[in-house]
Structure 1
Amino acid sequence: MRQTFSNAVFLLCATASALQIPFLESLNPQNAVTTKKPLVSSEAIQADISSKALLKRAKELFKIAELGIDEYNHPTRVIGSKGHLATLDYIYSTLASLGDYYTITNQTFPAVVGNTFEYRLVLGDASPNSTQAMSLTPPTTDKEPVFGPLVLVANDGCAASDYPSNTTGAIALIQRGTCPFGTKSENAGKAGALAAVVYNTADGSLSGTLGTPSPHHVATFGISKADAAPYIAALKNGTIIESSAYIDAIVESIGTTNIIAQTTAGDASNCVMLGGHSDSVAEGPGINDDGSGSLTLLEIATQLTKYEVRNCVRFAWWAGEEEGLLGSDYYVSQLSAAENKKIRLFMDYDMLASPNYAYQVYNATNALNPVGSEELRDLYVDWYKKEGLNYTFIAFDGRSDYDGFIRHGIPGGGIATGAEGVKTRKEAEMFGGREGEWFDPCYHQLCDGVSNCDLEAWEVNARLVAHSVATYAVSFEGFPERRVGVEAGRVAETPLYHGSKLVM
């Protein structure tokens, strides 16, 4: 009888909060399982990867996303939806079908999810074209329009003293910078504002998140620097700008689950760990973001069962990435110091099949991150060079699930093919594709379906993921030993990103 997430995983959920990843404590080099299978090699497992198998999984995942239609009127795998629950079922049952090669567990944790149904901002007699509602914003009072004058907040709105006395009953206009958007919204609420509008200090629109909900948050929007400029000038000249704001949104707490699979064989004190996220945004099915990463892990986990490993391999499928890296952050926060040290490195695989792709490597250096991050970066570079493929470095700035690991002293890195960034002329020359367009024109949209995945790029990157697994599953020779304590210089800083959206 097929094991499913719903009838098997939840048996483990009841103990997840009481135990710290329970299977980790029971595995050690002394009780590691031995096999008569051949030792995994990079060449062998790369040969097991095919775009045909990846495409088959993508089609299955899209059917799963269609389960979200009843709730959202379109396919989605956002946490809490039927599409995401079925995604977890698919991952768990696939792993369970592989026999005793893996110990499978889960980790249920509280998550905050938000959904904005409708919003409108009118400043004076116009609605700024760049207007966007912040992620995890609360609605306006009673989910009805609110009316009041626009008030310019001093400095960056990070201190209570920045808010003038006439903020009460007004709509606060706040400059981006210095502190998180959530802090600005909270301060505006404490000052009596009906809503808040944060304007960009760089070119372009402003799409951010308020992060952890606060009872003092108010309905919050982002607008561009260009759209804000005439209002700022008018307010400084003493002009009164009567305005209105409206947001219909929900922010609620739910439970969701990470799924972890670790080889029963291999040295459990020296684990190579890799992860992708199981959820999509509410707006679409997420077959590239991050179906391409999570399905790559599932396919490699399947193929790895043919082989023996010397070091343990730990796969993770995170939930709540799109809400702000919730699953991976929670996982790392629950590790004891001893369990933390067993993870020699973490590899993040998020978006591997963008249609207007570039082969991107996170520029993770040892100078700014836990020692070993740069060695992982160079493994990717060396592979692309060996294959005669171009590559480019991208910022290691907190946009995906590696962030919690490097903040807790674990070396990290990964590869990607691009999201909403615009492909340059040089990149078009290096990788082909369309200059001046997003790497993934369907990023966080309904059109992120099966046809949105470039199968050539996906297979190439899946082979590189397989190479990374095989390399460290055999040996960590030459890879830096883990050091005791937190090593990442970024730990004390607030990152520009924490997940896909700006946080400050």
Structure 2
Amino acid sequence: MRRTALGLVIAGALTVGAGVASPVAAHPPASNPHTSTAAAFAKKVTAKNVLRHLGQLQKIADQNGGNRAAATPGYEASARYVEKTLKKAGYTTERDYFTFDREILDAQTLTLAPAAGDPVSYVVDQMAYSASTPVGGVTADVASPTDTFGCTPETWEGVDVTGKIALVSRGGCTFAIKGATAEAAGAAATVIYNNTDGLLNGTLGEENGVGIAVAGISLADGQALVAAAASGPLALTLDVRSHTETTESFNVIAETKKGRDDNVVMLGAHLDGVEEGPGINDNGSGSAALLEVAVQLADAKKLNNTVRFAWWGAEELGLIGSTRYVTDLAAQAGELDRIATYLNFDMVGSPNYIIGVYDADESTYEAPVAVPEGSAATEDVLTDYFDSIGQAWVDTEFSGRSDYQAFILNGIPASGLFTGADDVKTDEEVALFGGTAGITHDPNYHSPGDDLTNINAEALGIMSKAIAFATYSLAQDTSAINGVSGPGDQPVKPKPGKPGKPWKHGKSHGAPGHWDKAA
């Protein structure tokens, strides 16, 4: 899960917060004649089968360098497994190709040479869209602003930063402003340390105008460097260099053969993971749950609406696959109008889980993005299901920081499910879901530990059945969302690969922004 601020103004830490909602009767259940059949369908989607798919994804990662990242053999093998499983169930699958500019790291080190003793190395991350240092890096003393943030020229007044490495804290303004302000004061490079635990990953955004290298480090390392600088001049070397290469990847798309083609229910999960690990919770879990729902739905005797499934590529690199897909649809007259709603499933098996639903009705969180009409009704399908079985749930912020972003930017209703990433679990959440307070929902987030042994099967089962219920319910009736109920006139579906097939787009070009543009 790569939460991105692409095209949106979003500030704050790289988290999706969860607020406690009433676990029962938070939304009065709507009358729906398909509720009983949807509940029966949900029982067909078992955690056992979803775990079987996850086992295959784990095996794929093990055989391909330990990961399933975009544009790697692990991703290709993951896609082939999804395609093979879908074809066996009777679907026709399509690879929706796109190209993008990918950042390739050439060097990424931060080293302190103390007056006595061995050099000390720190983990550092060059920010996306940052300039590179010269070959060999920049070696200099460090300087910090008067307020630690360094957001305005006044904070550098009286500070000798010329030719030095600016050492500033996260907070107060965007990373690009920090870098530009330090550069204007004379800094040779900027290092920004986090204001919470963990390495600071970030982006300056495209066309940021910053001419010096900007990199992120952890809070602990930043505090250590500040303390060291207080004792005298430092010899700190920052060497962060990268270049871009045009890369090709693809989404995997499939849809049901039954159902009216002018009212499409769409569901998606990103198939790629990060390079650091196998990506079994993030986001093998959502991909596997969606796959099993698709397999079971293939046997449905009647569907009023077409259901389209997407396994997105290059989400971890900036929501690229889903953004390209929606951009292509928007360029085709009437194609976006076909989509009744979109549901997103990104991390649904977190070890220290919550049962989270995107807060489309803003009952707990005011959304930092525009919420398309119909999104609250989409959320209701999920929350009403949980209420009907007595399952506690909480709201998570409707932030747009996953693959539903491009959909909501284009006015398509959306909601989704989430069991948590790097937010810390609260006592209130423990009371609802068990687990351990004071640690994150997924301590293995974006790490080698995100493997099959750390999937919570209980959470996976709860969420998989909720996905199944919502899929079947909306496949029959979206009237609460867009006023469409019943099969209506059945348009003739174009054959796969022929003009007019809504998910046949060919290749698109360019690269969207990266993630976490926050201060």
TM-score band, normalised by shorter chain: 0.7 to 0.9
More moved, 452-461 vs 217-226: 217-226
Distance 1:116 1:425 in 2: 44
More moved, 321-330 vs 113-122: 113-122
Q: Which runs of 5+ in 2 are unaligned?
A: 1-33, 485-512
The answer (yes or no) to whether the contact 1:130–1:227 under 8 Å persists in 2 is no
- Tell me whether 1:334 sits opposite 2:328 in the alignment: yes
- Tell me whether 1:256 sits opposite 2:249 in the alignment: yes
| Partner SS state of residue 141, structure 1 | coil
Question: How many Å apart are 1:347 and its aligned residue?
Answer: 0.8
Q: Deviations over 1:37-64 (max 9, x none)?
A: x999413321221122112111111111
- For 2:455, the aligned partner's letter is C
Distance 1:455 1:358 in 2: 13
Note closer, same or farther for the CA distance 1:269–1:203 as it changes in structure 2 (3 Å cut). Answer: same
- Tell me whether 1:375 sits opposite 2:377 in the alignment: yes
Note closer, same or farther for the CA distance 1:180–1:341 as it changes in structure 2 (3 Å cut). Answer: farther
Partner in structure 1 of residue 97 of structure 2: 107
- Tell me whether 1:224 sits opposite 2:214 in the alignment: no
| Partner SS state of residue 271, structure 1 | strand
Note closer, same or farther for the CA distance 1:410–1:169 as it changes in structure 2 (3 Å cut). Answer: same
- For 1:146, the aligned partner's letter is V
- How many equivalent pairs are there? 443
Choose the corresponding residue for 2:52, options 56, 66, 71.
56
Question: How many Å apart are 1:251 and its aligned residue?
Answer: 5.2
1:9-20 correspondence runs (5 A): none
Question: How many Å apart are 1:371 and its aligned residue?
Answer: 1.4
The answer (yes or no) to whether the contact 1:124–1:242 under 8 Å persists in 2 is yes
The answer (yes or no) to whether the contact 1:270–1:312 under 8 Å persists in 2 is yes
Partner in structure 2 of residue 426 of structure 1: 428
The answer (yes or no) to whether the contact 2:273–2:279 under 8 Å persists in 1 is yes
1:407-422 correspondence runs (5 A): 407-422=409-424
Distance 1:280 1:451 in 2: 16
Distance 1:84 1:282 in 2: 11
Q: Greater helix percent: which structure?
A: 1
Choose the corresponding residue for 1:272, options 258, 265, 271.
265
1:341-360 correspondence runs (5 A): 341-360=337-356
Partner in structure 2 of residue 46 of structure 1: 42
| Partner SS state of residue 446, structure 1 | coil
Question: How many Å apart are 1:250 and its aligned residue?
Answer: 6.2
Question: How many Å apart are 1:204 and its aligned residue?
Answer: 4.2
Note closer, same or farther for the CA distance 1:106–1:217 as it changes in structure 2 (3 Å cut). Answer: farther
Q: TM-score normalised to the size of structure 1?
A: 0.76
Choose the corresponding residue for 1:440, options 439, 442, 453.
442
The answer (yes or no) to whether the contact 1:208–1:503 under 8 Å persists in 2 is no
Partner in structure 1 of residue 24 of structure 2: none
The answer (yes or no) to whether the contact 1:151–1:170 under 8 Å persists in 2 is yes
Distance 1:59 1:186 in 2: 47
- Tell me whether 1:320 sits opposite 2:314 in the alignment: yes
Distance 1:354 1:249 in 2: 33
Question: How many Å apart are 1:328 and its aligned residue?
Answer: 1.5
- For 1:400, the aligned partner's letter is S
Distance 2:198 2:120 in 1: 10
Question: How many Å apart are 1:252 and its aligned residue?
Answer: 4.0
Choose the corresponding residue for 2:285, options 286, 292, 299.
292
Q: Deviations over 1:98-118 (max 9, x none)?
A: 33x446341323142455875
The answer (yes or no) to whether the contact 1:95–1:104 under 8 Å persists in 2 is no
Say which structure, 1 or 2, has more relative contact order (CA 8 Å, 6+ apart): 2
Distance 1:502 1:446 in 2: 25
Question: How many Å apart are 1:470 and its aligned residue?
Answer: 0.8
| Partner SS state of residue 479, structure 1 | helix
Note closer, same or farther for the CA distance 1:227–1:364 as it changes in structure 2 (3 Å cut). Answer: same
| Partner SS state of residue 381, structure 2 | helix
- Tell me whether 1:209 sits opposite 2:202 in the alignment: yes
Report the aligned-residue RMSD: 3.8
Partner in structure 2 of residue 474 of structure 1: 476
Distance 1:211 1:67 in 2: 35
Q: TM-score normalised to the size of structure 2?
A: 0.74
Distance 2:78 2:205 in 1: 25
